[in-house]
Chains A and B, each alone.
Chain A
Amino acid sequence: MTDGQNVQVDVAIIGGGPAGLAAALGAKKRGADNILIIERDNELGGILNQCIHNGFGLHTFKEELTGPEYAARFIEEVKKEKIPYLLNTIVVDVDAEGKILTLMSRERGLFKIRAKAVVLAMGCRERSRGALNIPGYRPAGIYSAGTAQRYVNMEGRMPGREVVILGSGDIGLIMARRMTLEGAKVKLVAEIMPYCGGLKRNIVQCLEDYGIPLRLSHTVVDIHGKERLKGVTLTRVDEHSKPIPGTEEYIPCDTLLLSCGLIPENELSSGMGVELSSITGGPVVNESLETNLEGVFACGNVLHVHDLVDYVSEEAAKAGENAAEYVERQIRETSRGIPVCGEKGVRYTVPSYLRPEYMDDPQVIRFRVGSNYQNVSVVVYVNDICVIKIKKRTMAPGEMEQIKLKKSDLEKVCECNKVQNIRICIEEQ
């Protein structure tokens, strides 16, 4: 590859994590030859490299792998297929109109490439302390759980000795165990909600196994220490998540880890003019995982935050295949498709639009619910006529759901070109 704008690839994939790797393999499988993966870190694999715990790949490989092992299966495949990739290279800007990517690396400085299709696979980032608005000083010793995970698991450094973890997401629970194994004293995990944000199995194997208390309906309201963190003030909260006066408790600690949710990383996307959903924080896509910009696709955690990497790989492979197909057919589309809406308990759906002529048969529609449900039905309406009804014993916001919509489900109601809307709702049985 030579420098300059005349370097042209068919499919440029931004990000070499689980989504980017699977998208590259999907594009290759669908016949694209000239693919390029652009990764900002010094190796492929993305966040999986620091997720050294096991539990990955149960769906895909029918065995429990650690993060690096799961990544290695895809990396080996990418190398076997001789798909080119750039490491230590960030994408600074994408001109959506001409699909010109501005890249930067230490060796080459700024340079540009042209692409016929772009796959966004940049993943997500953690909600930071700033976004949480905890008052107090800004001493050293406050990290996001994922940053601490990288320090411990990849760089071999310990962030501190006496730890409080705020937020009970899975990364927080896993870091509670990890810090304990590395010799730190984890004093407690505080969760503002009355229920744990992470999986039940992680409460057992990460907290209970090591005697770490989980304090539900509690949050941190003050940070103490000027240079280095000295302690935090913990307080109980009421049902509206407001601190209850008189319940304050001082917990001495030198480290506070934040595990308070993930946000798709879309600065690049919004800079290009990709329309973003206010609910997921990710691009609004159609059935082909194509954004409002033609030939620009999105998959993985940059699209919506997933619970299982298996589903990221599955979704990303589709995005890659669709990008390859787009390059091959080069048809300009004008229609956006039929709106797919989540209503009555369904917070969002991916995709948000569906063009019957391009849909998979069956087409997977992924969604999340807004609260906990028991003994309900997921109901799909096409032009207000019920076409699918599935009973569910339990549903929870933390678990991504999916339904499979067949072409024949649409045809039950009318000809595909007469479908006006598709709605997914949660209803009492």
Chain B
Amino acid sequence: MNKIKQYFKTHSYNIATYGIVIIAYVVMQYLSNADMLSRSVNGYLVPICAYIVLAVSLNLVVGISGELSLGHAGFMGVGAFAGIVTAACLQGVVDSDFGRLMAALLVGGVVAGIAGVIVGVPVLRLRGDYLAIVTLAFGEILKNIIGNLYIGKDETGIRVALSQAELHLGAGGKVILSGALGATGVQKLSTFFAGFLLILFTLFVVLNLINSKEGRAIKAVRDNRIAAESVGINVTAFRMKAFVVSAFLAGMAGALYGLNYSAVSASKFGFNTSIDILVFVVLGGMGNILGSVISATVLYVLPEAMRGLADYRMILYAVVLILVMLFTWSPKVKEIMSVVTAKLGGIFKKKEVGTNE
């Protein structure tokens, strides 16, 4: 009994995180089944799941490992297109839609993870703002490459080329990816349930990683690299681990996202999307996984909910973003807040004393 209590005490944060996600899923699924959600809200469910996974995985790099990455959308894009190609290739081989989706997610994650290794080797030699700019550069390179790939399939197998003409598809061949136009005619496989499973999987991986020996080593590197190095932590290996896990999860999220639309183009996975994900992480709190989940949901819904304001909505979003940053980070506001809370605390204390007498 005591052991269980102890477990709940030390893991209350994780339990709360899982609990909130599960409750939110059950409620949304119920509402969706009961036809109480509008079409547009139903359409947001899967992208929200994808963005939650992206935010949590980026938080692993930015919050836990302490490196500013500006190229997260590149991994998302790699995962998305790898997933789309996989799903298209398995059409007719695997009958179940869900099975194909799972295979697509897995391949998307693995390919993005490999991209993460390739990117990570040079990137993790750098530090600070230089690391940020190189991740930005790699994000753009990945976007540029997937924006120029042509992939098609015919009875002989899969063909990859750099232009439509070079594809030489046989009779009955089908183009899966066509360069800058991206993938068109994608079969929508993603479901809210799959998104929910992916979130749980991501939380499981990330929360366990954070609380493990490896996670503590990664945090030690973030807090003081030199001190960590001097107690025998292999700095590069641990930074690499966090980076690759993050890329893998981002790839899975990308595959989920890509298979939710009938047409996806590479331009979606550029700098702006990377920045959006970074905003989710920073506003949710660095290193705070539950914060990322909540802020990704709220910040994704916020501009959509403001659609009624038409042209003003993005301006309002920008203003909200600036104000939130000013109010949560400004040293002056923090000082004022601490004074206010101290005073309020003082009032309550006095009252307590008064009632005791």
The answer to whether A and B belong to the same complex is no
Task: List residues of chain B with CB under 8 Å of any chain A CB.
Answer: none
